[in-house]
Amino acid sequence: MTISPIIALRKAIRARLAADSVLVAALGGAKIYDEAPRGAAAPYVLLSETKLRDWSTSDSRGAEQLLTITVVSIERGTAEALTLGERIVALLDEALLALEGHVLIDLRHQGSETRREQNGRFARVDLRFRATTEAQ
């Protein structure tokens, strides 16, 4: 059974982020989740939404992914979340990641957005990436 390009990319991203000692220290552990566990202490990283589009050619099956990685912080202001976001962008923008069952053609940071949630209790930074992959 072939692994989904979304799952393959998420596994590679999680591994890349968890292997970075600077990021892990700033998070207070390898707190990189699909969904944060109940009571998870911020800061943490969420592998949020992904949109998948067919990117196939006549020669190969391919996929385009528009994905969001979210940094959540409870520090006042957005400085902590933005600093963590910058580190994530530095680790992933144009990174050469090995994917299971797929080849990563390109991974690029497309933009970022900050926001506050729960009456300002949480600062969030949404990092938007675009990835293209081909099936092996």
pLDDT recorded at residue 56: 86
Distances (CA, A) of 112 to 26, 37, 47, 85, 129: 20, 24, 14, 9, 9
Instruction: Give the containing element (helix H, strand E) for 81.
Output: helix 79-92
Average pLDDT over residues 84-111: 97
Has residue 119 got a pLDDT over 90?
no
Q: Could you report how far apart the first and last alpha carbons of the chain are, in Å?
A: 13
What's the rounded Cα separation, in Å, for the pair 53 and 133?
11
Nearest partner of 81 among 42, 35, 109, judged by Cα: 42
CB-CB contact of 127 with 89 (8 Å): yes
Distances (CA, A) of 26 to 3, 57, 103, 118, 126: 32, 42, 30, 23, 18
Residue in the block written with tokens 């729960």: 118
Backbone angles phi, psi at 65, to 5 degrees: -120, 130
What's the rounded Cα separation, in Å, for the pair 112 and 69?
10
pTM for the structure as a whole = 0.93
What's the rounded Cα separation, in Å, for the pair 45 and 69?
7
Has residue 79 got a pLDDT over 70?
yes
Which two structure tokens, joined as six digits, stand for 136?
Answer: 């092996």
The pLDDT-based confidence of 60 (bands split at 50, 70, 90) is: confident
pLDDT recorded at residue 1: 60
Q: Which option is the CATH number for 5-76+90-135: 3.80.10.10, 1.10.10.60, 3.20.20.80, 3.30.2000.30? A: 3.30.2000.30
pLDDT recorded at residue 29: 96
Domain-by-domain residue ranges, the chain? 5-76+90-135
